[in-house]
């Protein structure tokens, strides 16, 4: 048996047969006769076009399922057009008369040399994106044009994936229902893949250096995410330990474990809800042990195009099924958070009597969006509110308004709820009281949280937007996205301010941004006094486990210390050091 040490990024132990995936292309060099140079250039161009189409497809798929991760591929799409990459490879093909694979490899080496000189760790990390992209271009240069999905066809339910590097784009194409666990040679560069592993609840070890060379395809291996190890040809005892662990995680036992409400080690209850995009995600939320749905992004009814979102009965049926499916848990439905362009594109192909069109197409996500757009389209808003109020009889519903920046908007929204209730009463339907809350995701809302708190039933802090608007950083803009920092002191102070405003008025406050899915950050948020969160379902079991090991008084002391720090680096260092001392389960914060 061989034991390789790495960094556990997702806990759990699994045994399985290795499927080995080497992404780093070992390109061969060969000369091209002059009359074949054009053909070689055409291959390169074709590969670029195919790579672009694949990246766009992945991005679209992710933006439906994991919108917060879809911008991961913006950098690669930009790089496809960078003159230093593929046009430079074309020059090498032309001047040196070599095959396209070799030229691409050369360019990557040149890039690598430049990146090595860069001091900025963020920019150095971009090398991972270049490597990912080069791997893709290489793959598409193959005449049979195999995709990773084809390459991964040999996966079955007993597979453990061993790769030199599991880049986000490859991870997005893996059928995770068929992968028991994974291990990679590379480490920190695949941080986003580590997030995916945790959210998928798949044991994973990274940073193993040369596992992909040591493991033969088909060999039996054990991935131990808790001990940060990969065992090759494990002993019978190790196999039995893995089997026992899998047994312990068997649904029957695991279910009870998962259903247990979350609390800190000293018994402070923490409410963990799920963020979902599609009604079908309810099963995943329940499976993960969510108490309720803290954020249902109802706008997917608009953007997915699956149903006619203007049909009150269709909406009513969807909300009703969701409330019944989650009972007795609370379901918080966020009213449509679309912008005018998304709405216009969904209405474009349909006969539409009101004749409303945006003046001109605008891509801005800062304009007429969320509640602002709902108020500009009372006809659509009222349909949604009626459907929601009708469904409310079938469970515990809360209505949440997105993108609120003033008390006036909130009052208008409340008036719309009252009008919708009148519509129903006129129809002879009984109307139950439904709490109405707002998302705090625009700095103006955070700064006026004390005023808003007097007029709403609950707050939900949406840090995904709050961070970008507070720090003036568009996450989609690669040039500034490294400034997108959940641990920026301004963000922590704003969260504290909103939490205090809510507590003073005794209204519930939760946080549903992606930052809560990171267990290290979550513990800090608990230290800041938050006790309700909503997150991607896969993150809930890990969050429960981490919280159960930590005392709330220690977390409060940690938050007090962190609030005095001036830089993100210091905050990160103190946070991780403190959590290490608090004997957090290994691997979760690495
Ligand atoms: C947020 O802004 O934090 C949020 C949860 O909403 P979304 O990511 O859908 O904008
Ligand atoms: Mg938002």
Ligand 1, atom 7: closest residue by C-alpha: 464
pLDDT at 148 over 60: no
Catalytic residue among 138, 401, 488, 512: 512
pLDDT over 70, % of the chain: 81
C-beta of residue 401 within 8 angstroms of C-beta of residue 437:
yes
pLDDT over 70 at 477, yes or no: no
Range with lowest mean pLDDT among 162-171, 328-337, 376-385: 162-171
pLDDT at 583: 37
What lines the ligand 1 site, CB under 6 Å? 295, 297, 337, 441, 462-465, 512-513
Judged by average pLDDT, the poorest of 431-440, 539-548, 578-587 is 578-587
- Over 80: is that where the pLDDT of 370 sits? yes
Ligand nearest the Cα atom of residue 402: 2
Q: Which of 307, 293, 226, 100 is nearest to 549 (CA)?
A: 226
Whether residue 328 has a cis bond before it, omega within 30° of 0: yes
Token digits for 354? 């009101």
Report the alpha-carbon distance of residue 405 to residue 438 in Å, rounded: 10
Helix/strand/coil percentages in the chain, nearest 5: 55, 15, 30
Under the banding of pLDDT at 50, 70 and 90, the label for residue 213 is confident
Range in 241-250, 469-478, 501-510 the model is least confident about:
241-250
Query: In terms of Cα–Cα distance, which of 171, 329, 227, 257 is closest to 540?
Result: 257
pLDDT for residue 455 is more than 70? yes
Residue 98 per-residue DSSP state: B
Q: Residue 47 above 60 pLDDT?
A: yes
511/175 Cα distance (integer angstroms):
30
Percent of the chain scoring above 90 in pLDDT: 43
| 486 neighbors 536 (Cβ within 8 angstroms) | no
Give SS3 for 257: helix
Nearest CA to ligand 1 atom 8: 464
Distances in whole angstroms, Cα of residue 493 to Cα of each of 496, 497, 551, 563, 579: 5, 6, 22, 8, 21
Q: 461 alpha carbon to ligand 2 midpoint, in Å?
A: 9
Q: What average pLDDT is seen over the chain?
A: 83
Report residue 168's pLDDT band, with 50, 70 and 90 as the boundaries.
low
Please indicate whether residue 75 or residue 488 has the higher confidence score (pLDDT): 488
pLDDT (0 to 100) of residue 348 = 63
Ligand 1 atom showing the smallest separation from residue 463 Cα: 3
Pick from 465, 468, 498, 516 the residue to mutate for probing ligand 1's pocket: most ligand atoms within 8 Å of its CB: 465
CA of 462 to the centre of ligand 2 (A): 5
Q: What is the mean pLDDT of residues 540-561?
A: 89
Question: pLDDT higher for 504 or 33?
Answer: 504
The ligand 1 atom at the shortest distance from the C-alpha of residue 68 is 8
**Site of tokens 């993960």:** 288
28 or 577, which is more confident?
Answer: 577
Q: Whose CA is nearest to atom 6 of ligand 1?
A: 462
Where is pLDDT greater, at 158 or 298? 298
- Flag whether pLDDT at 510 surpasses 90: yes
Going from the Cα of 12 to the center of ligand 1, the distance in angstroms, rounded, reads 30
Distance from C-alpha of 45 to C-alpha of 137, rounded to nearest angstrom:
10
Q: Is the pLDDT of residue 26 over 70?
A: no
pLDDT digits (tens, 9 = 90+) for 264-284: 999 999 999 999 988 888 888
Which pairs from 478-482 meet CB under 8 Å and 24+ separation? Answer: 478/74, 478/75, 478/78, 481/71, 482/122
* Contact indicator for 386, 313 with CB cutoff of 8 Å: no
pLDDT in tens, 307-360: 678 899 999 999 999 999 999 999 999 999 988 877 877 776 443 333 344 444
User: In which band, very low, low, confident or very high, does the pLDDT at 151 lie, cut at 50, 70 and 90?
Assistant: low
pLDDT at position 534 over 90: yes
Which of 378-382, 495-499, 550-554, 585-589 shows the lowest per-residue confidence on average (mean pLDDT)?
585-589
Range of lowest pLDDT (50-64, 284-298, 372-386, 403-417): 50-64
Q: How far apart are CA 195 and CA 183, in angstroms?
A: 14
Amino acid 359: pLDDT: 44
192 flagged as catalytic: yes
Residue 197 has pLDDT above 50, yes or no: yes
**Closest C-alpha residue for ligand 1 atom 1:** 462
Candidates 70, 297, 468: which one to mutate for ligand 1, based on the most atoms within 8 Å of Cβ?
297
**C-alpha dihedral over 408, 413, 417, 419, to 10 degrees?**
70
> Does the active-site annotation cover 470?
no
- Ligand closest to the CA atom of residue 466: 1
Of the ligands numbered here, which is closest to the C-alpha atom of 460?
1
68-77, 135-144, 304-313, 514-523: which has the highest mean pLDDT?
A: 514-523
pLDDT higher than 50, residue 587: no
Contacts of 349 (CB under 8 A, 6+ apart): none
Strand order in the sheet with 13-21: 2-5, 229-232, 220-224, 13-21, 159-163, 179-184, 204-206, 7-10
- The alpha carbon of 402 and the centre of ligand 2 are apart by a number of angstroms equal to 7
pLDDT band, very low/low/confident/very high, at 490 (cuts 50, 70, 90): very high
Judged by average pLDDT, the poorest of 73-82, 304-313, 459-468 is 304-313
pLDDT digits (tens, 9 = 90+) for 222-266: 999 989 999 999 999 999 998 888 766 544 435 566 678 999 999
Among 278, 300, 401, 402, name the best residue to mutate to test ligand 1's pocket (greatest count of ligand atoms within 8 A of Cβ). Answer: 402
Q: Do the beta carbons of residue 510 and residue 270 sit within 8 Å?
A: no
Which of the four pLDDT bands, split at 50, 70 and 90, describes residue 142? Answer: low
What are the angstrom distances between the C-alpha of 307 and each of 298, 311, 317? 12, 8, 12
Q: Is the pLDDT of residue 165 over 80?
A: no
CA of 202 to the centre of ligand 1 (A): 25
pLDDT at 537 over 60: yes
Q: How confident is the model at residue 163 (pLDDT cuts 50, 70, 90)?
A: confident
Q: What is the pLDDT of residue 353?
A: 33
DSSP H helices, 358-447, are: 370-376, 378-391, 407-426, 443-447
Given the residues 31, 192, 254, 488, the one annotated as active site? 192
């Amino acid at each position: 048996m061989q034991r390789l040490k790495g960094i556990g990024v997702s806990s759990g132990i699994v045994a399985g047969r290795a499927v080995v995936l080497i992404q780093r292309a070992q390109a061969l060099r060969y000369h091209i006769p002059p009359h074949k140079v054009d053909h070689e250039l055409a291959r390169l161009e074709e590969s670029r076009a195919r790579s672009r189409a694949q990246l766009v497809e992945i991005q679209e798929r992710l933006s439906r399922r994991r919108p917060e991760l879809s911008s991961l591929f913006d950098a690669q799409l930009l790089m496809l057009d960078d003159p230093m990459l593929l046009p430079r490879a074309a020059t090498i093909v032309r001047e040196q008369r070599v095959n396209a694979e070799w030229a691409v490899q050369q360019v990557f080496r040149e890039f690598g040399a430049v990146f090595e000189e860069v001091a900025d760790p963020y920019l150095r990390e971009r090398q991972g994106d270049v490597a990912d992209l080069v791997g893709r271009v290489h793959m598409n240069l193959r005449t049979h044009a195999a995709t990773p999905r084809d390459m991964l066809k040999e996966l079955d339910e007993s597979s453990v994936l061993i790769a030199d590097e599991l880049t986000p784009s490859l991870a997005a194409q893996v059928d995770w229902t068929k992968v028991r666990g994974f291990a990679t040679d590379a480490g920190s560069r695949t941080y986003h893949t580590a997030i995916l592993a945790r959210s998928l609840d798949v044991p994973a070890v990274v940073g193993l250096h040369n596992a992909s060379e040591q493991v033969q395809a088909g060999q039996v291996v054990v991935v131990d995410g808790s001990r940060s190890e990969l065992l090759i040809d494990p002993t019978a005892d190790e196999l039995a330990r893995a089997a026992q662990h899998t047994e312990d995680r068997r649904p029957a036992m695991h279910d009870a474990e998962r259903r247990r409400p979350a609390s800190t080690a000293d018994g402070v209850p923490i409410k963990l809800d799920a963020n979902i995009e599609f009604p079908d995600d309810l099963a995943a939320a329940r499976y993960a042990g969510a108490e309720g749905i803290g954020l249902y992004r109802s706008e997917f009814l608009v953007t997915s195009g699956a149903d006619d979102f203007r049909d009150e009965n269709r909406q009513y049926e969807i909300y009703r099924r969701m409330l019944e499916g989650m009972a007795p848990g609370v379901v918080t439905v966020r009213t449509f958070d679309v912008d005018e362009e998304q709405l216009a594109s969904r209405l474009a192909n349909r006969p539409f009597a009101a004749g409303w069109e945006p003046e001109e197409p605008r891509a801005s996500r800062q304009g007429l969006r969320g509640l602002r757009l709902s108020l500009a389209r009372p006809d659509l808003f009222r349909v949604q509110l009626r459907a929601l109020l009708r469904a409310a009889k079938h469970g515990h519903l809360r209505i949440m308004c997105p993108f609120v920046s003033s008390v006036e908007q909130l009052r208008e929204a409340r008036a719309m709820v009252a009008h919708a209730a009148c519509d129903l009463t006129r129809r002879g339907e009984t109307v139950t009281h439904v709490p109405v809350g707002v998302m705090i995701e625009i700095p103006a809302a955070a700064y006026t949280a004390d005023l808003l708190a007097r007029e709403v039933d609950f707050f939900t802090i949406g840090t995904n937007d709050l961070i970008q608007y507070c720090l003036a950083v568009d996450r989609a803009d690669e040039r500034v996205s490294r400034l997108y920092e959940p641990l920026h002191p301004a963000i922590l102070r704003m969260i504290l301010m909103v939490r205090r405003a809510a507590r003073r008025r005794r209204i519930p406050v939760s946080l549903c941004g992606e930052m809560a899915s990171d267990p290290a950050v979550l513990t800090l948020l608990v230290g800041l006094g938050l006790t309700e969160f909503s997150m991607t379902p896969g993150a809930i079991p890990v969050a429960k486990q981490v919280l159960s090991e930590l005392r709330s008084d220690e977390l409060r002391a940690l938050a007090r210390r962190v609030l005095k720090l001036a830089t993100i680096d210091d905050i990160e260092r103190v946070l991780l050091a403190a959590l290490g001392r608090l004997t957090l389960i290994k691997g979760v914060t690495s």
